Amino acid sequence: MALPQKHFKKGSAKPDIPEDGKLRFFSMAFCPFSHRIRLLLAAKKIPHYNIYIDLIERPEWFKDYSPLGKVPALQLAGIKDQPTLVESLIIAEYLDEQYPEPRLFPTDPLQKALDKILIERFIPVVSAVYPVLTCNSKAPPDALQNFENALDVFEVELAKRGTPFFAGQNIGIVDYMLWPWFERFPSMKLNTEQKYELDANRFANLLKWRELVAQNYAVQTTALDVQLHAEFQKSKTFGNPQYDIAFKAKI
């Protein structure tokens, strides 16, 4: 059964989801943290229901699943008490343990810890680029410079690892956890005055990596095109985010 392809709003009735044990994935179509989980669900081909949430006018019942009202949230409908997990990295780790095919986190405990630290180090990149990506007119003048400085860490790390993916010869957890922002960065070319693009010399390794990751099955099946990202960000800037334009394309 397919649930409605729309973002549920304040005042909307709780969707009628079949009690068949399938996972219930609460997300917002343009949320990069939700995209992380969408990638894993696709990579592991895990059956699930999609429930989309309007984050400006949240439905009242969403608090029952995500107390802070954030997405992504994943309800484990097939187990006792049907608990709901939040926080993308926690959800990702749970999914990898519960659905190990293909294994995405390293099995070596030290490498796993180092990869989780690296993923956490992406948060400064996210914070620095956020005002630019969201076309915020109050973006600090040095926002792009701060973004590039934070991104240098990943360029250096990829060169140090000396492999096509952060995970090695094949795509893995670090690659998937960073990807949603790399899908969104090209929208800056459309939405910024200076038509911003990543510097080809400074980020040579990351740009090569980006081309490789873009060919991945899960990346392709969850992709929204750059025009759509740019259009959504503009609508958000004007205070009226058009969440449902995502369904112009299939996600």
Ligand X SMILES: N[C@@H](CCC(=O)N[C@@H](CS)C(=O)NCC(=O)O)C(=O)O
Helix (H, G, I), strand (E, B) or coil at 20: coil
Distance, CA of 35 to CA of 126 (rounded, Å):
14
> Binding of ligand X at residue 134 (CB under 6 A)?
no
**Does 31 qualify as catalytic in the annotation?**
yes
Q: Which of 112, 97, 96 is nearest to 36 (CA)?
A: 96
Strand blocks (E) in 65-117: 73-75, 84-86
User: Rule CB under 6 A: is residue 70 a binding residue for ligand X?
Assistant: yes
Strand partners, 75: 24, 84
* Nearest alpha-carbon partner for 33 in 211, 181, 175: 181
The answer to whether residue 232 forms part of the interface with ligand X (CB under 6 A) is: no
Least distance to ligand X, CB of residue 163, Å: 25
Q: Which residues contact 138 (CB under 8 A, 6 or more apart)?
A: 131
State which of residues 17, 42, 55, 207 lies at the interface with ligand X (CB under 6 A). 55
> Which member of 31, 39, 51, 167 binds ligand X (CB under 6 A)?
31
Q: Which of 23, 28, 29, 31 is catalytic?
A: 31
Binder among 69, 124, 168, 186 for ligand X (CB under 6 A): 69
Figure out which of the listed residues 43, 54, 62, 72 binds ligand X, where binding follows CB under 6 A.
72
Residue 196 engages ligand X in binding (rule: CB under 6 A): no
Site size with ligand X, rule: CB under 6 A? 12
Q: Are 179 and 219 in contact (CB under 8 A)?
A: yes
CB atoms within 10 A of CB 32: 20
Query: Which lies closer to ligand X via its Cβ, residue 127 or residue 163?
Result: 127
Report if residue 88 touches ligand X, rule: CB under 6 A.
yes
The residues of the shown chain that bind ligand X, judged by CB under 6 A, are 28, 31-33, 55, 69-72, 87-89
Instruction: Please identify every residue annotated as catalytic.
Output: 31
